[in-house]
Amino acid sequence: MSYLIKPPGYNALLNLSQTELGIKKIKDFFQQNLSSELRLRRVTAPLFVLKGMGINDDLNGVERAVTFPIKDLNDSKAEIVHSLAKWKRLTLADYGIEKGYGIYTDMNAIRSDEELGNLHSLYVDQWDWERTMEDGERNIDFLKEIVHRIYAAMVRTEYMVYEMFPTIKPVLPQHLFFIHAEDLLQKYPTFTPKEREDAITKEHGAVFIIGIGCKLSNGERHDGRAPDYDDWSTSTPDGNMGLNGDLLVWDNVLNRSLELSSMGIRVDKEALLRQLAISNTEDKKELFFHKRLLNGELPQSIGGGIGQSRLCMFYLRKAHIGEIQASIWPEDMRKEAMAAGMYLI
């Protein structure tokens, strides 16, 4: 069900023209910084892929992909992508990207099963990126180094927005706080995962939660993650599981945490087999992507996605993602949003 958060006294700081200008500047500036920080080159990405090849992102395994038949391929089915988590790794191999370098792209997706609200839309736009790893980088320290680099680009971008629109004061802390999902559970044992995210992010301003997808001591996952891209089941030296995570910031407009990015070191052969077994999806071993990985044809990599509209929403202090992007919304939500000062494009 759709749900609208209506911040009391909300008043957009920028008009429509300023907002559109801000979106353009933010996207140009951030992607240039991201490319420089991680040594990424831009590539062109697909809007759809063939069904049944294991290339599309399964998300939590229950979301339905938008499908359509292709007349010139005997009505073979294509799927609108959910994300490009696995496609990017295939591209690293096919382009022969050297270790320590990578790719990024503008990913546009349709997720028809999203629960619509301030943060979720049918339309998803993000920077999807993937970088080939050096030998010996399959560890938590390397994950943190990459996260630090991405966060540095976020901090610089916020200052650029402040120079452009002085009424928007910077709020991001200079240092990002790291915590494992299990340690977060121990800190707030009676909270739901979302309540735990809000509590820790409000305390620190910006947080990276490690270990998304592995079962915690209470037998539950902090959040779901597909078994065939991020490595969430590898044991780390501190006794926790997982080489992935989510980056969240505190949103003063909505008074809640806002996830801007998820990323992780990708599965190797051992992690893929282990996670397919854990999730009872071992039949995927026969799919195109999975066969190439199991045959050693794909490089070891780290990658993730960064929400473009969410990033702009945060920087421009908007209360609804529909103030940033054009999408379809329930008519009652559109009317309620307008009454609450949110003009949905």
Catalytic residues: 57, 111, 126, 246, 259, 262
Bridge partners of 221, per DSSP, are 215
In the numeric block, which tokens belong to residue 112? Answer: 């028809």
- Rounded CA-CA distance 150/131 in Å is 13
CB atoms within 10 A of CB 62: 8
Question: CA distances (Å), 66 to each of 48, 84, 149, 183, 228, in order?
Answer: 9, 15, 34, 38, 21
Look at residues 130, 107, 97 and name the one whose alpha carbon lies nearest to residue 48: 107
Cα separation of 105 and 82, whole Å? 14
Query: Per DSSP, what are the bridge partners of residue 272?
Result: none
Whether residue 244 contacts residue 210, with contact meaning beta carbons closer than 8 Å, is answered with yes
β-sheet with 40-42: strand ranges across: 40-42, 102-110, 123-132, 301-307, 256-265, 244-251, 206-210, 177-180
Q: Quick check: 261 and 150 in contact, CB under 8 A?
A: yes
Report DSSP state, residue 111.
-
SS3 per-residue string spanning 29-55: HHHHHHHHHHCEEECCCCCEEECCCCC
Residue 59 zone, left/alpha/beta (φ > 0; ψ -120 to 50; rest): left
* Spatial CA neighbour of 279 closest among 210, 218, 221, 222: 221
Sheet holding 48-50, edge to edge: 48-50, 76-80, 67-70
What's the CA gap between 4 and 119, in Å, rounded? 9
